[in-house]
Structure 1
Amino acid sequence: MEFNNQSLQFNAAPTASPFMPLQHNFMQMQVPPRLLPQIKQHQLPLARIKRVMKADEDVKMISADTPVLFAKACELFILELTLRSWFRAEDGKRRVLQRSDIAHAVTHSEVLDFLLDIVPTEEAEAKLIE
């Protein structure tokens, strides 16, 4: 797939965080009409997303667009977590993400608070070792 940067428009507003302009640019990107058929191509398998959704007993039917929407939401979530972790790795002058980078991103972001019980922090790991 060939991307022509001249055909994309970005409406980025300045923000305080160093990675927020990157994310804002990604979210504000206007997709050219010739790329619209490619929007439904995802890295995440839609059949598995649909299977996870059907695991809930209350879900009877799922429209065709719903797994696509959830796949895009998952991609944006992964982007958010990765960017926050990456800037922690860059602060440590590393080019490889470590578990501690992800734990730091989770503990220092209100948006990712729901992951506190899932992602072990360094203090919790130290207590388990003792």
Structure 2
Amino acid sequence: MAEGEEIQSEAAVVVQSSLPAGRVKRIMKLDKEINKINSEALFVISNATELFVKFLAEKSSEVAVEKKRKTIKVEHLRIAVKRHRPTADFLLDSLPMPQPAAAAAQVLSKNDRPRKSSDSGSVPAGARRIDSFFQKGP
């Protein structure tokens, strides 16, 4: 009898993403090739995204601990991405380049924001940067 109860309790577990489904769906629809999104596909992509972000956070945290820091910075994320080859293949060129030591020492005021350069890295022929996908076109 205990085995039957255990199976029922395992079947009752509901996995739910912490990402808002509407926002994930809106981001998916930015791709012009996608017209309709199945609820199962939305569920899988939401959970995969959540797992990927968790993976990046864990690896970045490990790098921060190695560097004896309590705060995760972009440099830690960049190192974590470099160490994981599949992630580095598509994400590394979208991360901001590390600043020189002299520029990093300067403290920016709240009104000063770093500017993005439009040509901050070369992309192979036939490929595009992942951040270009999220920009609205003409």
TM value normalised by structure 2 = 0.60
Instruction: Extract unaligned runs of 5+ from structure 1.
Output: 1-6, 8-30
Structure-1 residue corresponding to 2:64: 89
Aligned ranges for residues 1-130 of structure 1 at < 5 Å? 32-36=10-14, 39=15, 41-113=16-88, 114-122=90-98, 125-126=99-100, 129=103
Number of equivalent positions: 95
* Greater gyration radius: 2
Q: What SS does the corresponding residue of 1:57 show, helix, strand or coil?
A: coil
Higher RCO (CA-CA < 8 Å; seq separation 6+): 2
Q: Distance in 2 between matches of 1:71 and 1:52?
A: 11
Deviations 1:60-79 (A, max 9, x none): 22111111111111011111
Instruction: Extract unaligned runs of 5+ from structure 2.
Output: 1-5, 104-138
Find runs of 4+ consecutive structure 1 residues off by over 4 angstroms.
none
TM value normalised by structure 1 = 0.63
Q: CA deviation at 1:126?
A: 1.9
- Distance of aligned partners of 1:56 and 1:121 in 2 relative to their CA distance in 1, 3 Å threshold: closer
Q: CA deviation at 1:57?
A: 2.2
